[in-house]
Amino acid sequence: MFRYQIIVEYDGTNHSGWQSQKNAKSIQREIEKILSKILKIEVNINGSGRTDAGVHSKNQSAHFDYKKLIPNKYKLIASVNYFLNKKNISIKKIIRKNMTFHARYSAKEREYEYIILNRDAPPILDKNKVWHLRSRLDIKLLKKAAKKLIGTHNFNAFRSSNCQAKSPIRTLKAIKIIKKKEKIIFVLRSKSFLRNQVRSIIGCLKYVGEKKWTVKDLEKVLKSKKRNNCAPPAPAQGLYLSKIIY
């Protein structure tokens, strides 16, 4: 038996998310169907983690096992992508790994990006790829507030009510905020994230950037550990799974 890692890019706009679900179009299931068809054996893939409906990926990582050595990975990529590209999914790489490798459990860190388009005119080229905000955000305030969230905290206020994680304790290793012309890009890194944690953080930082909240207000939300104190989460279309670090 041989284990292969795949690096996947996808547009999550018209999908129910990464994980296979009944009566829904998931990224995982679409890839499994095509790999199974081409390799002529039922293929099950394990991803590094879930992404919700509408969330995109630049470098999702997953793995699958196959009984044979794949002699020409480039040919397989071309064959698989012939079908997947029609569904806005692309396998960028196939890498042979040791059988001890696991896409989820071997991951040391995960990195997400969130993109806000901060201008008056709505997006055309970036439609469904950014969060469009007309209200001007104060970058200095955003950076000052973000520092309060870095480190190990109880992020219960920042996770969805249906989050299944046993503990709300997470260590947020970094939040970078980059201004590129009309776009504000947030880069968040942690070993793992709670469900809706990134989108909830962005929603709260947006309130600070608009001066609806002070930095102290954000700190109070974090310390309260209560979900109903959190700002509305940012929409899914601005979120990207950007990198898995092993």
What is the C-alpha end-to-end distance of the chain, expressed in Å?
22
Measure the CA–CA gap between 220 and 225, rounded to whole angstroms.
9
Measure the CA–CA gap between 220 and 102, rounded to whole angstroms.
38
- Exposure of 107 in the CB half-sphere (CA atoms within 13 A): 23
Which of 23, 34, 29, 31 lies closest to 6 in space, CA to CA? 31
Contact in structure between 241 and 57 (CB atoms under 8 Å)? yes
Active site residue 52: yes
Q: How many CB atoms lie within 10 A of CB 68?
A: 9
Catalytic residue among 11, 52, 138, 217, which? 52
C-alpha dihedral sign at 221, 223, 224, 226? positive
| Residues carrying an active site annotation | 52
